[in-house]
Structure 1
Amino acid sequence: MNDKITRGRRSKIDLLPEEIRRELDAKLRDGRLTQQEVLDYINDLIEQSQLPPDEKEQLKISRSGLNRYSTQMETIGKDLRELREVSNALVAQLGDKPTGDVSRMILEIGRTQLFKAMMSQSSSEEMDIGMIKDAMLAAQRLEAAAMHSHKREKEIRQLFAAEAAEAAEKVASQQGLTAEGVAALKREILGIA
């Protein structure tokens, strides 16, 4: 993504009506059309829209503007694809018994992506209130997920310790350890959890 600081002026693409911008994003994602074909298609949509004639002329996008936007979208798409691949690989490692390290790593990836989004938004002079609200909600959900993950990890450790204590109790009893010794061993194992 372009890290160059600008004066915060919104691009023509940012100013497009929502339905035209959605169409632009869909055409770029589709990838079957060349950029020139996408440019002609979008500028035709602008021309056919119900916008005032002077606004239509102002909104028509240039080849370089489309190229910058396309490059930015591809960079974001690439980051999302890489994030999805990493997340899928990490989740595959979880199996049926999630481990705290992998859960923490996934949460950290989410926090990193949220931070990147907030930083890219803050480089613009105009702050999008919706973006701030969504970011705060995402942060709240990430923290709730972290708390749930921590609680689940603790429960797993306690269950494992209880199973280990029961197994140790059986073995210790079979080996002739006194009742006090068995109780001390069990307390020690349960205290670890």
Structure 2
Amino acid sequence: MNTKPGRIPRYATASAFAALAAVVALAAFAALAGAAPLHAQAGAGQVSLAPGTQGPDATLQDLDGNEVQLLDYADGKPALFEFWAAWCEQCEELQPEIDRVQADFGDQVNVVAVAVAVAQSLRRVRRHAEAHGAEYPYLWDADGAAVRAYSATTTSIVVILDADGKVAYTGVGPDQDLVGAVTGILSAQQAGGD
């Protein structure tokens, strides 16, 4: 390596910049959520919505830039909302479970991916959605309205509303049994309807 005394090698500068960028992105996400300091690892947060409370609404954008209301996707049947980011490794690990919910219950449950606006652009979200070929809508939370409404202080958070729009399930991280949660919610709904 050919460096002059007192000069910092380029790779060290790049590593320091990457670390600083990650800290800034996490701090921005915490600020969007209006939360206490964000845990350093995606999926390490908690969900503060109490079961049985009405799911809050928020204005987001679809991938064409049109404004939509989040609760429009909870139209009389359960809705699964995942708060995610393209850079979130735990979200990627959770993806197959969400895809299973869509495949097994897509006619009974609305699945929606809510893309947080931290360290990613709408363009990046579009590319991610196209590359993954998801069979459910991706929404862009440009100003953090859904993040704040759902107290989503990290990524890989899942909230499932029942058919009445009430919080029936919350979870964080890649090891969630969403198929089991949806099965339970649909069974309770069916038992209540008899």
Q: Which has the larger radius of gyration?
A: 1
Say which structure is richer in strand: 2
Say which structure is richer in helix: 1
TM-score norm. by structure 2 comes to 0.28
TM-score norm. by structure 1 comes to 0.28
Structure with greater contact order relative to length (CA < 8 Å, sep ≥ 6): 2
